[in-house]
Amino acid sequence: MTVLGLGGSGHDWSSCASDGRELVAVDEERLIGSKYGLGADLLAGLSRRACLDALATTAEDVDHVVCCELVPRPFYHSFRKRVTVVNHHLAHAYSAFGASGMARAAVLVCDNSGSLVTGRKDGPGPREAETISGYTADESGIHLVNRVSGAHLVDAATESAYYQPGETDNSLGHFYRAASLALGLSYTGPKTRYPVSEDGKTMGLAPYGDDRFNDQVAELVTLLPGGGVSISASKVNHAFERLVASGDFDDRAALAHAAQEVLERALVHCANDLHRRTGLTDLCIAGGVGLNSVANGRILRETPFERVFVVPAAGDNGISLGCAYYGLHQLEGRPLTGLPALTTAYLGPAYPTTRADAALAASGFTVETPDDLPGRVAALLAEGKIIGWFDGRSEFGPRALGHRSILAAPYPASVRDHLNDHVKHREWFRPYAPVVRRERARDYFDLDQPSPFMLIVARVTRPDAVPAAAHVDGTARLQTLDAGQNPKVHALLGRFEELTGCGVLLNTSFNVAGRPIVETPEDAVEAFASMRLDHLVVGDRLATKA
């Protein structure tokens, strides 16, 4: 039995396949080398092929194909006679609860816009789309509790044009996206017809701003009884463009600060209402807004929910995971709480050691196989070296979690500037995330639950020990790691602490600005050759530039 889930909307296409025991998932962007998958040949669907190959099956042998209503038809064209199409927010909800391993939970989905509530995909409109949805979930399934929707304005003379982002009223996702676009924090590469907002940059900029625009921005979002919000997309667009018309950095940072504060306040409002309706203490989060790890931390601190789980692929790429879970539950009849949960995000296809060895052999690098790889790499990190780390199956989602990472010591503070300026070539204000063994997390961070997917921000309690890992506001988006999740990096952290007294490393994605995270051994070797990294780990090999 094989279920194939397909995800994405106007970007972030991905595939996820499962035989009921194992999950394999990968983004199209990783395989074509173009951010967000832009320019992908969706008919060819390299991610579909990779996932099915990983399960040693073929397209003809797939039993169920599931996608959501925002997945463009070319991506599932070859399966069009046997595809099941589901609601967009429902697929997000399946991704979060199915991955959580929880027995019963509330689920909050928040994004730019989801499936249409009224109207058609093509034609002049009017049309209305879902923007925020609340659910309860248990072994019987996922059940809608409440929904917010808004007028969806999009230039959709044809259905294919519908998949551009558009503008949606009553949408916290559009609200934050509009801030990113006004700030110029978007991806506008050569294959980009419409700019893709890079909201993580806005989140990183926010702590540098003051509150000069807080009141004006707050007036744009009305919090309604019953967990609703009222937002005019057009007013938001015009207001944000006006506030940063000067181009001054202080104004830009202040807008990011205000947008972040208002978003957090609104999400706490929505989460509190969902708790009031359900009485549950566990919360799962999905949808693109779920990638706002600062807001997730605030929900954990300020609402009655005691545990918060955010699916690692919270954006539209995670739709493929949710669709696979939907197929296993609804089409195969399996209990939802009996499906393979995510203890790690390492869902990518596996690459044979022979392929990695061949890539290294052709590189011209000096390659060795240390008897004690964690100890050797820990010593290099303690010397201030920067290490590219490639191991096992890739992470599903936008965060590098120890299989496709760049690792460095979390001190001195200048390490952050070196990485931004000379290694990653990205904006100076962006922070770096720390990774720490779960059992040592409370020694450095104020967090009472695990954060395995780097999607919760917490206060740094020892900023003097990890200055390069603490953002300007004294917080960090941390990853906690159990030995069973990643034995090699867990051991590396232990050896680094033995040498230095510090149990934390910086962990950032193995890529440069404007490129996807590396996926294959060949990608890792090519990236290492072009980047200012000191060493490269590939499996149990250690490479050094000649």
Question: Amino acid identity of 238?
Answer: H
pLDDT above 80: residue 1: yes
pLDDT above 90: residue 162: no
Provide the pLDDT for residue 160.
74
Residue pair 485/344 in contact by the 8 Å Cβ criterion: yes
453-487 pLDDT, tens digit each: 999 999 999 999 999 999 999 999 999 999 999 99
Provide the pLDDT for residue 210.
98
Interval 122-128 mean pLDDT? 86
Categorize the per-residue pLDDT at 121 as very low, low, confident or very high, splitting at 50, 70 and 90.
confident
44-70 pLDDT, tens digit each: 999 999 999 999 999 999 999 999 999
- Using CB atoms within 10 Å of the CB of residue 389, give its burial: 0 to 12 exposed, 13 to 18 middle, 19+ buried: buried
Q: What percent of the chain has pLDDT over 70?
A: 100
Q: What is the DSSP letter of 299?
A: H
Q: What percent of the chain has pLDDT over 90?
A: 93
Provide the pLDDT for residue 416.
96
Contacts for 42 with CB less than 8 Å, ≥ 6 apart: 13, 28, 72, 74, 75
Interval 16-26 mean pLDDT? 96
pLDDT above 90: residue 122: no
Q: What is the mean pLDDT of the chain?
A: 96
Provide the pLDDT for residue 124.
80
Number of alpha helices (DSSP H) and beta strands (DSSP E) in the chain: 15, 27
Provide the pLDDT for residue 158.
74
Provide the pLDDT for residue 193.
73
Residue pair 206/264 in contact by the 8 Å Cβ criterion: no
Interval 107-116 mean pLDDT? 97
pLDDT above 80: residue 192: no
430-453 pLDDT, tens digit each: 999 999 999 999 999 999 999 999
Provide the pLDDT for residue 277.
98
Largest CA distance in the chain: 66
508-528 pLDDT, tens digit each: 999 998 899 999 999 999 999
Model-level pTM? 0.97
CA dist 137 and 322 (Å) reads 13
HEC profile of 224-281: ECCCEEEECHHHHHHHHHHHCCCCCHHHHHHHHHHHHHHHHHHHHHHHHHHHHHHCCC
Contacts for 149 with CB less than 8 Å, ≥ 6 apart: 117, 128, 129, 130, 131, 170
- The alpha carbon torsion through 93, 150, 218, 307 (nearest 10 deg) reads -10
pLDDT above 80: residue 155: no
Q: Which residues pair with 118 in a beta bridge?
A: 128
pLDDT above 80: residue 356: yes
Stronger pLDDT, 346 or 546, i.e. the higher one: 346
Q: Both tokens of residue 284? A: 């799962």
* DSSP state letters, 490-531: HHHHHHHHHHHS--EEEEEESS-TTSPPP-SHHHHHHHHHHS
